[in-house]
Structure 1
């Protein structure tokens, strides 16, 4: 597994089914150094859960080296975090309440991202 030292998978889709759950949940941190590893892990869990008929709740909380503290709730960053969660296949998406701050006020070209 490629999770960071402050993350742990505490249960499985099989456990959720055994307990009679209707959904599983997972948290990702877009913008963090391990964000792509987290997205890959989430993708696997989401695929397994959906193949078993379970819904998926995905918490998508931006943070990391490329995002300022104020940027963690910037409307453009939050929108992208929600977009990532939707692309991964989440049925329910939880993000922080966005502010009117813009992390990237003007994007001149794709390389500036």
Structure 2
């Protein structure tokens, strides 16, 4: 690893653990709650301990003045929920675009098992090659999604493990994927790659659900989270970011993290 890549990885993490808040959802879902005044949300989550925020490059000018010295990741593909197929992610920028936007890293989404997998494999491979020329880390969002993949099946963790291994094989530096439901099943996913593994958050649940999922992730040996809606759509995004950061960075229990963040602990 080059000195430049190592330096940039340090900007988006803390001691090789990561609390990343993706807010690229504006291209996918529109200006949903938490994204209209994205400046305030970015200030809140980074004040709460997030290591980095992630957006499409067009939002970069709204990110930098509000991120409190946190890292910045530019996402380079996307799709919409109102388009013909949300899994058909299309390229939205280049490595040079990301550098001009002030990015410390780039990210790219791939749906392993979908009909779009072949093209997305080629595009991710090309991206990691280009990014390596600049010492720019690549976060691969590698999900197991497709007609033959069912998250309710017993072998779902094997499909997710395949997805994260694919990301490593294609040259990514960090890999994000979906949680498989328990520390026991997610351990297989973590062991499937030597890359740092971070989990997606998905739709917002209760505070305890969110933090308990993060605790299970870390117990499985993962390196952190890349959680969007469950944090930026929270009524108090700074507090939930602080709770998640306490688990990832300080090894807090679920109850400790909620209490220290000032969030209610369910009876």
TM-score range, shorter chain: 0.7 to 0.9
Q: Deviations over 1:26-77 (max 9, x none)?
A: 0001100121111111100111011111000000011112212424x82111
Counterpart residue number, 2:134: 52
Indicate whether 1:12 and 2:94 are aligned.
yes
5+ residue gaps in structure 1?
A: 101-113
Counterpart-to-counterpart distance in 2, 1:11 and 1:25: 11
1:82 has 2:164 as partner: yes
**Structure of greater relative contact order (alpha carbons < 8 Å, 6+ residues apart):** 1
Paired positions, count: 98
Give the equivalent residue in structure 2 for 1:22.
104
Q: Which secondary structure does the structure 2 equivalent of 1:45 belong to?
A: helix
1:32 counterpart SS class? coil
Q: Which residue of 2 aligns with 1:103?
A: none
Find the residue that maps to 2:144 and give its secondary structure: coil
Counterpart of 1:38 in structure 2 is 120
Unaligned runs of 5+ in 2: 1-77, 80-84, 186-267
Tell me if 1:91 matches 2:185.
Answer: no
Distance 2:115 2:132 in 1: 27
| Offset, 1:90 | 0.8
- Give the ranges of 4+ consecutive aligned residues of structure 1 lying more than 3 Å apart after TM superposition: 3-6
User: How much is the aligned-residue C-alpha RMSD, in angstroms?
Assistant: 2.3
**Structure 1 match to 2:145:** 63
Q: CA deviation at 1:89?
A: 0.9
TM-score normalised by the chain length of structure 1? 0.76
Task: Write 1 or 2 for the structure with the bigger share of helix.
Answer: 2
Distance (Å, rounded) in 1 between the aligned partners of 2:143 and 2:180: 11
For 2:238, the equivalent position in structure 1 comes to none
